[in-house]
Structures are given as C-alpha cells and as structure tokens.
C-alpha cells in the first residue's frame, strides 16, 4: 500500500479521531473510505446525461421568430393571459 501525507487543520483531526474511536477503525481507514466514496461520486457524476444531451435533436430546430425572443421582456407582456 502506498503512503500519502496530508496536512489537516486541528479541528478536522479532532473530528477524525472522535469518529475513528466510535467506529473502531483507524484514522487511515476512515480517510481511505471517505476518499473512495468521494471518487465514486465523481465517477457516477461523469456518467450523467444532461438535458441538452437528451433533447439535442430538438434544440435549435425551430426556424423563424424574433432573434431576441429569449432576452426581450416585451414578449412576456401578454404571457399567461387568456
């Protein structure tokens, strides 16, 4: 197993000591578990699909209309009124 040396603030070290005592595992084991969970979270986020990916075939497919439709508040004056 490789060794990694890090510097942490005293408050974080105290929390780590307390949790390691409650869990009956070493501080190193807690850090390994936390790092593994963090990296797994990053891997799962990388596999996520965005709304643009899902709707990419319809984005920008409409022709015509005013060029400032998304930014001009004047187009919203009658919005929602019957």
pLDDT in tens, 8-54: 999 999 999 999 999 999 999 999 999 999 998 877 766 777 888 78
Contacts of residue 31, Cβ cutoff 8 Å, sequence gap at least 6: 16
Between 8 and 66, where is the model more confident? 8
Q: Is the dihedral of CA 54, 60, 61, 66 positive or negative?
A: positive
Token representation of residue 4:
């990694």
Confidence of residue 64 (pLDDT cuts 50, 70, 90): confident
Q: Cα–Cα distance between 13 and 46 in angstroms, integer?
A: 31
Between 29 and 59, where is the model more confident? 29
Query: Is 90 exceeded by the pLDDT of residue 58?
Result: no
Q: Cα–Cα distance between 75 and 10 in angstroms, integer?
A: 57
């Amino acid at each position: 197993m490789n060794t990694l040396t890090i510097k942490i603030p005293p408050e974080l070290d105290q929390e780590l000591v307390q949790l390691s005592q409650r869990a009956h595992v070493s501080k190193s084991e807690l850090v390994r578990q936390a790092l593994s969970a963090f990296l797994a979270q990053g891997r799962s986020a990388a596999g996520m699909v965005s709304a643009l990916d899902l709707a990419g075939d319809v984005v920008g497919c409409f022709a015509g209309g005013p060029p400032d439709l998304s930014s001009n508040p004047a187009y919203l004056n009658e919005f929602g009124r019957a």
